[in-house]
Amino acid sequence: MTSTVNVTPPLRRLHPLTPVLGSWRLLGGLTAAAFGLFRERLENLAWIWDALHGSTDFAVLLKALGVLLFALLVSALAAWLSWRATGFAIMADDNGVGTLLFHRGLFVRQRSQVRLKRVQSVDVNQPLVPRLLGLSALRLDMAAGEGASVNLAYLRNADAGRLREEILRHTGVAPVRAATEQPPPTAGLSTAGRPDGTADAAIAAATAGGLPARAGLEVRGDELIAQVSTAHLIRANLLDGVSAWLLLVVWLIGLVVGSVIWGWEALLAAVAFLVPLTIALVAQISRQISSMLKDANFRLYRTPTGVRISSGLTSTINRTIDFDRIQGVRLMEPYLWRRFGWAAVMVDIAGGSRDEEKGAALMPVTGRSAALELVAQVSGVWLDHGTYVGAGGGARRLDPWGWRYLGVALFDQGAARRSGRWRRSIAFVPFERVQSVTARQGWLQRRLSLATVYVDLPVGAKRWDAQHRGHDDAATLVGELCRRARAQLEPASRAADRRPEHEAEHQATQQLAPGVQHWP
């Protein structure tokens, strides 16, 4: 932070509708509080009915409405004040290094300076209501994790798009890394399940301007390299969660049959009895539905330095990922998908929020070959070309189902591991991301002379593991991972500005006394 300009540049404000959108949450809280105050009166809901028909004192209702109105005013005022206290600006110092200033907070004032070079991914999100109003939120993820993210909510779509491009100009430092041995991606990366020409035609139509209006968020020059049709997404999701859906059907049939035979009381008893099952089922199904909503309209674009994902039905996500910010890539193949030759690709990015811990979907579902090609695009490695060394028969005792599928392959750029009897996955980690290597050996593993090797990756990326390797094998793997990770260590000059933000990247100063600062 040495080169930071001391003079605060003029701050830009968020969209004036932000306080309105933000005050709903506060209003909710205040309504709850009001409800708590009037609980005795409200306990018997009949009085509302009575009040409306003039048979009890109307004054109570008026009082309640008054409190509600007051709450609305207070929350609107608070939201407006906090909107006034929020601002951001992008500065560039003499060396052209960009910094984002972000000031916020009414009582606890927070001033963040974000080095744009350290930004891991840039998202433009549109929750449902802001989307209807033509607003979106710009979110910057930093390697330090959720606490360090900056969420600029809300901006006009066009402003958000412009701001994203401005930020990306400062972050995009990496040269384009393409899979060396292969032609450009458009040929193979078509909508999976439609190997005929229709997919390409659809993409052509889409790029030609057939896209629904997301004005301002579309970036010219970004090449659409893949998209997923809704029907395909739904089929894939149903297949993936087929056990949950089957369970639901059995459960419903059981309920109906039970209620017919034993009457409604039995039905109630059964529901109560099956509460844990019901909860699990509802959770699974809602997870599936939300993932479907999230991945609907999935489009993948190629940007000069990375890829951009755009997806979502009710709320849309628009996320830009530079190739050199990718910490790991995973190819997932659930059991039933394999019959159809489908696969999904996930990427790990440093930082990111908790709900994205499983990684961002780079491709929710596509054909296996297209998925492999996509992996090659982002990592430079063809995962199917490696020689996977199996875990050996010793692993059978500890993993009787999946031991045959455990395997590790070393590439020039990184290591890949294969696993999973039913839900097969290949995880790839670039050597340059390896932070440390850990070998672990439990009591049973020791009896069998086996050990598990882990690669520790930056926060936000899933830990890479090679399960149940033989002793010598594990020793070789540890040695090799460390040796190649060291070989990838960059010269100090380049590293200096890419060091994560333990030191300086994201300085948030908090002060309880607002008067001390010269702002606003």
Residues that bind another protein (CB under 8 A): 143, 325, 327, 350, 432-443, 446, 449, 451, 454, 456-459, 463, 471-472, 474-475, 478, 482, 485-486, 488-490, 492, 495-496, 498-500, 502
H-helix segments, 85-221: 128-132, 157-171, 198-205
DSSP 8-state class, residue 353: -
The smaller minimum CB distance to another protein, of residues 26 and 455, is found at: 455
Q: Which two tokens stand for residue 233?
A: 């997404």
Residue 445: CB minimum distance to another protein, A: 9
The smaller minimum CB distance to another protein, of residues 181 and 443, is found at: 443
Q: What 3 state SS string does 306-331 have? A: EEEEEECCCCEEEEEEEHHHEEEEEE
Q: Which two tokens stand for residue 246?
A: 């089957």
The smaller minimum CB distance to another protein, of residues 146 and 200, is found at: 146
Residue 146: CB minimum distance to another protein, A: 12
The CA distance from 82 to 92, in Å, is 27
The smaller minimum CB distance to another protein, of residues 263 and 442, is found at: 442
Q: Which residues contact 367 (CB under 8 A, 6 or more apart)?
A: 192, 193, 195, 341, 342, 343
Residue 456: CB minimum distance to another protein, A: 4
CB 171 within 8 A of CB 122: yes
Residue 358: CB minimum distance to another protein, A: 16
CB 328 within 8 A of CB 428: yes
Residue 294: CB minimum distance to another protein, A: 25
- Report the candidate in 402, 411, 413 with the shortest Cα–Cα distance to residue 467: 402
The CA distance from 124 to 152, in Å, is 9
Q: How far is CA 409 from CA 385, 388, 390, 395, 458, in A?
A: 9, 5, 9, 17, 21
The smaller minimum CB distance to another protein, of residues 46 and 492, is found at: 492
* DSSP characters over 455-517: EE--TTSPPEEEEEEEHHHHHHHHHHHHHHHHHTPPPHHHHHTTS-TTTTTEEEEEES-GGGS
The smaller minimum CB distance to another protein, of residues 337 and 431, is found at: 431
Residue 18: CB minimum distance to another protein, A: 32
The smaller minimum CB distance to another protein, of residues 42 and 437, is found at: 437
Q: How far is CA 377 from CA 11, 120, 123, 389, in A?
A: 39, 18, 21, 24
The smaller minimum CB distance to another protein, of residues 127 and 359, is found at: 359
The CA distance from 372 to 72, in Å, is 53
The smaller minimum CB distance to another protein, of residues 316 and 327, is found at: 327
Residue 306: CB minimum distance to another protein, A: 15
Residue 326: CB minimum distance to another protein, A: 11
Residue 405: CB minimum distance to another protein, A: 23
Residue 433: CB minimum distance to another protein, A: 7
| 443 Cα distance to chain centroid | 37
The CA distance from 313 to 294, in Å, is 6
The smaller minimum CB distance to another protein, of residues 223 and 480, is found at: 480
